[in-house]
Structure formats: structure tokens, C-alpha cells
Amino acid sequence: MAAEILVEGVCYQYPQSSEMALKDVNLRIKKGEFIAIIGPNGSGKSTLAKLFNGLFVPTKGRITVDGLDTRDKENIWKIRQKAGIVFQNPDNQIVATVVEEDVAFGPENLGVPPDEIRKRVDEALEIVELKEYAQKPPHLLSGGQKQRVAIAGIIAMRPDYIIMDEPTAMLDPVGRKEVISTVKRLNKEEGKTIVLITHFMEEAVEADKVIVMSEGRVVMEGTPREIFSKVGKLKAIGLDVPQVTELAHRLRGQGLAIREDVLTIDEMVECLCPLL
Amino acid sequence: MSIVVKNLTHIYMPGTPFESVALMDVNWIIEDGEFWGLIGHTGSGKSTLIQHLNGLLKPTSGEIIVDGVNINERGVNLREIRQKVGLVFQYPEHQLFEETVEKDVAFGPKNLGLPEDEVTERVREALDLVGLKYDEIKERSPFELSGGQMRRVAIAGVLAMRPKVLILDEPTVGLDPRGRDEILGQIVRLRERQNITVILVSHSMEDIAKIVDKIAVMHRGRMVESGTPKQVFKNREALASIGLDIPQVTHLMIKLKDKGKNVATDVFTVEEAEAEILRAARGMGHA
Ligand SMILES: Nc1ncnc2c1ncn2[C@@H]1O[C@H](COP(=O)(O)OP(=O)(O)OP(=O)(O)O)[C@@H](O)[C@H]1O
Ligand SMILES: Nc1ncnc2c1ncn2[C@@H]1O[C@H](COP(=O)(O)OP(=O)(O)OP(=O)(O)O)[C@@H](O)[C@H]1O
Ligand SMILES: [Mg+2]
Ligand SMILES: [Mg+2]
């Protein structure tokens, strides 16, 4: 049985809606990969995320997590243990009245022993720098602090597949970098599979593979370098490229000899040095 | 319309175990027609500060003076203040409550007692400003939209009131890149056309650098700096130490300078970087 999330010919239609939110999506997310999903508002990213762990089931087609079909009710418990989501709006997933209880909720539900839970909760709060807020009611926190609580929750749960829907949207620049480096560490050191949905192109650059969605379909798939060198195509569907990639693109247009696929500041420095 | 914040301190739930000093002695002068960016780490007090500017929160001590009037004095009509000072919340869901998008955006203008056709006119205009198609979206429930679509509806609801001061708490969170540029562009144009005062709370140094005239920086409840982007972004170490950053292209220019290249480092947007690099490259006989 393959260790992967496999999406085969999936369509999804919301009950009240006349249109398909997802149209014939096919994807394979292998265990241990770090995938970024980008796409315009309403393109189906969050819907797809909720299908990954069986919160929604496909209207058509099939999704399996490590071979377990999400349509089979008997599998749901096992699937939820394997795949956890941090939702787009942290307000909607706060369940407890005290921060540390909220973070403990996931592992408790998985039947993790109390000592182990204590350890995981402390660690998770340490990672997101919320230790001093452990005893506070989550609803009294600022927007970015709530988002950190939600991230701590999934870190404490430690599922094999970690799905994060815009986890850094309300964080300050340093906090955003910290979350991305935590995600990379979970991926590289603990072998966790990461699916990161984001509107920040600089974050998508960090992934092994980028999936681009538009109007309910997967329209591009490739390494960050392959995807972001297609500046015109991305802009046409309402997306963007990192600032340095954009700058490289413009300078090429002005006749400077610069590679098309620059992704980072250091690569750009390397390209520009011989010219300045 | 000008706003003056004088010695503002705000303590949440004083005298309880959850007491939290969110603002400490903040002073801020916002002149009529200015465009401010408000930045600071998560929990630094930005949302708390702006909710004082239209009387949603009351100071523990200190004063808020809007157009010469201390808004927390007895007898001040806060409803009137809130018509003039429009606030888009950090969580748009908190602002949405009607069963259709049309009703939701119309709520404010209706409450102003405007005639029906003027209300519809404003709803159309506001939805257009945020990049939504009136005919496609008017009948939909605001709660059955994607995150970015909801945010656009919430912004439209405030724009439909045509406020004199527009305060936006992280308005581009959750918007795709085009939506982000469109909304920021609309805000810039709106301001030029109607000469309104704008305060933009944001974690995007790139967005802030692109459009504001002045930046105020919050850190642990205090306003630790205010000035032009040039002044504020000058000190990157200090910014990094309080959770903030400078735009990506500014990093690039600093690295080039460190390599001994003859480039200016007070460059904050892609356009400025393009011009500066071309200047330097042409000086070396390239391009
Ligand atoms: N509860 C719902 N009922 C009906 N339609 C919905 C519901 N939630 C989302 N939709 C619609 O389904 C489509 C996909 O929405 P989804 O939330 O997956 O988009 P997204 O890519 O996550 O967008 P965003 O970047 O704005 O978060 C959109 O057209 C949206 O309006
Ligand atoms: N209703 C409340 N009751 C008690 N404390 C609160 C409440 N709201 C906010 N706080 C606390 O006040 C401080 C300032 O919060 P505020 O929401 O103003 O921050 P912010 O700068 O807007 O942060 P963010 O960037 O995360 O939105 C934080 O430490 C927060 O925990
Ligand atoms: Mg979404
Ligand atoms: Mg806030």
C-alpha cells in the first residue's frame, strides 16, 4: 500500500451551489514531500484541503490516504489521525477556553498518554512563542496570536500529513519566517509531509513542488523554479512571483543579461554582480 | 479630517487574572488627507489602537480627538463619528451578518437613511471597487464564499458608507496577489479622488512601502517610531529585533552595496530597484 495521498478524478460541488468548486482534480502527494498550493481566491484550495482528510467527500472521483478511501466512513478515524489541517480562519478551530487545553485537544483525541501530551504541548507552545499565554483564554488573543495557537495544535498532534491553509496570513514578517522554518524542520527532520496553501509566493519558493489552481482545476505543477519562471502565465491567472523574480524579469526586458529563473536574493546578487 | 491621539493607555480586563496592558502612553497625530501605514509584531497593539479611533474601545486613560472633538466626552454622538471614520475589521466574518451580499453591503448606507436607488448605486460602486461583480454575487450568502471573497465583501460594506477616514486592519490578508494589488490601487485612487485620510494596518512591508506616506511602528503597546518609509526602513536591525523587516528588494540593494557595488539602498519597490540597477549597469557600460 503506497504511502501517499492520491486524488483521482475528483469533482466537488457544495450542496447549495450550482457550480463545481473542484473539476476533475488529479494529484499525488507522496509521503515526505513538501508541497505548496497557490491559486486565486475561490479557485478551490480550501475545498481541496478539506477533502484530503475526509471532512468533505468527493461528489465524483476518489481520494485515498495511504490507501484508505475517504468515502468509507469506517476509515475516517484512521484518516484523521494521519492527516491534520490548520484551517484558514483560526477563529473557527478554537475549541477550548484555555490556550494550552486547546493545543492539547488534538493529541487527547488521538489517545496520546497524559505525560506525552504535557511534553508535546509545552514544546509546541515554545516553538510558536506563546508560553506566556498558555493559561489565557484564546478568544482574548490578537489575530496573529490565535493563528499561532492553531499552528501549535497541529504541531502537538504530529500527524504524518500536515495540511496548512494560509497559516501565516496574519503573522508579522519574523513570525512568518519562523513558521516556515518550523514547517521545513518537521519535513526534513521528522519526515512529515507538508501541504502548504499560501498567497505568499516567497513561501511557495521553499517547497519541493508547487501546485497551481485556477477555477477549480490544477493548471500547473512543477518545481518552484519551473513554475515561477512562467511570469506571464502566472500573472494572467491573477498570481504573482517573488519580488526578486519580478525584478529579474523586468531587467531582462531592459536588455540586461540575467537568468529568467531567479528565485532568491542571493541568486539575484550573483547574477547582478558581474553587471554592476 | 484630522485625528489626534493623546497619552492613550488601554488595559484589557483590569484587576482580573487576564489583565493585559495593550497600549501604553501612545501619542499620534494624523493630519487631514494623510496616508499612514501602521506596522508592528503580532500582539503589539495595532488593532486595539485603531478601534479607539472611532470609539469602539474606550481609553483606560488618554484622549482621542477627531476633528477637534474629544470623542469620549459625554454627549458626543458616536454614530456620527462612526459614519465618518470607517473601520474594516481584521476578521471580515465579524462584520458580515446579512443573508445576501447585497443586503450586507447595503446595510450601512440604508442606515444613513439614503433613498433606495442611491443605496443600490453605492452597493454597485463598492462591489466594483473591490473587484466583485454585482450581478454575479448580490444574491449569494456572504457565509458561503471563499475567504478572500468574504474579505472583499467586508471592505465593500465600509466603502459604501463613503467615510472621510478609512481605517483598514490587514485588508489584504487572504487576498490573491492580483486582488491585493487591485484593492490597494483602489484605495490609492479613492484617496486621490475624495481626498480622504487613510490608515492601513499591515504585515506586508512590500505593500506598505509601495503606497503610504508615513509609517507608525508599534512594539509591545508603545509607538516606538513614526516617519517616512525612508526614515523607518533605514534601521533594519532595529526592525528585525521587534519582529519586522524591510522589503525584499531593499535587502537585495543592501547586499549589493555590501559587495562594494555603487547602488543606493533607500529603494523600497520593484520599480525603484529596476531604475537604480539600470542606472548602475549603464554606468558600467552594460545595457
Ligand atoms: N460553504 C460554501 N457553500 C457554497 N459555495 C462555497 C462554500 N465555500 C466555498 N464555496 C465556493 O467554492 C469555490 C472554492 O472555494 P474555496 O474556499 O475552496 O477557495 P480558495 O481557493 O480556498 O479561495 P481563498 O484563496 O479565497 O481562500 C468558490 O467559488 C467559493 O465561492
Ligand atoms: N479582548 C481582549 N481581552 C484581553 N486581552 C486582549 C484582548 N484583545 C487583545 N488582547 C491583548 O492585547 C494585546 C494587543 O492586541 P491587539 O489585537 O491590539 O494586537 P495586534 O497588534 O493587532 O496583533 P495582530 O498583528 O496579531 O493582529 C495582545 O497581547 C492581546 O493578547
Ligand atoms: Mg481558502
Ligand atoms: Mg490585529
Q: Is the pLDDT of residue B164 over 90?
A: yes
Is the pLDDT at B84 greater than 70? The verdict is yes
Nearest by CB to B273, which of A46, A169, A247? A247
pLDDT of residue B285: 80
- Please list every protein residue whose CB sits less than 6 Å from any atom of ligand 2: A 140-145, 170; B 12-13, 18, 20, 22, 40, 42-48, 90
Contact between chains at A266 and B255 (C-beta distance less than 8 A):
yes
Q: Which residue of B has its CA nearest to A202?
A: B248
Separation of alpha carbons A129 and A229, rounded Å: 36
Instruction: Provide DSSP, B218-269.
Output: EETTEEEEEE-HHHHHT-HHHHHHTT----HHHHHHHHHHHTT----S---S
Q: Tally the residues of chain A.
A: 276
pLDDT in tens, A15-54: 988 899 999 999 999 999 999 999 999 999 999 999 999 9
- The one-letter code for the residue type at B107 is F
Cα(B43) to centroid(ligand 2), Å: 5
Nearest CA to ligand 1 atom 18: A44
Whole-number pLDDT of residue B287: 66
Residue B146 touches partner A, C-beta closer than 8 Å: yes
* Mean pLDDT, range B45-57, rounded to an integer: 96
Q: Is B205 on the interface with A (CB under 8 A)?
A: yes
How many angstroms separate the CA atoms of A192 and A176, rounded? Answer: 19
Sketch the domain layout of chain B as residue ranges: 247-287
Complex ipTM value: 0.89
**Residue B133 sits at the chain A interface (C-beta within 8 Å):** no
- Which among B47, B46, B59 has a CA at the least distance from the CA of B5? B59
C-alpha cell at A101: 487545553
Number of residues written out for chain B: 287
Give the pLDDT of residue B163: 94
Residue A40 and residue B274: Cβ atoms within 8 Å?
no
Report chain A's mean pLDDT, rounded to a whole number: 94
Which of B91, B176, B259 is the closest to A143 by Cβ?
A: B91
Q: B47 vs A174: CB contact, 8 Å cut-off?
A: no
Ligand 2 center to B32 CA (angstroms): 27
Residue B182 scores a pLDDT above 90:
no
Which letter does DSSP use for residue A55 in this model? S
Task: Indicate whether A264 pLDDT > 70.
Answer: yes
Amino acid type, A118: R
In the block, residue with C-alpha cell 480586563: B13
The per-residue pLDDT for range B241-276, each reduced to its tens digit, is 998 999 999 999 999 999 999 999 999 999 999 999
Say how far apart CA B50 and CA B56 lie, in whole Å. 9
Q: pLDDT > 70: what percent of chain B?
A: 100
Q: Are the C-beta atoms of residues B233 and B239 closer than 8 Å to each other?
A: yes
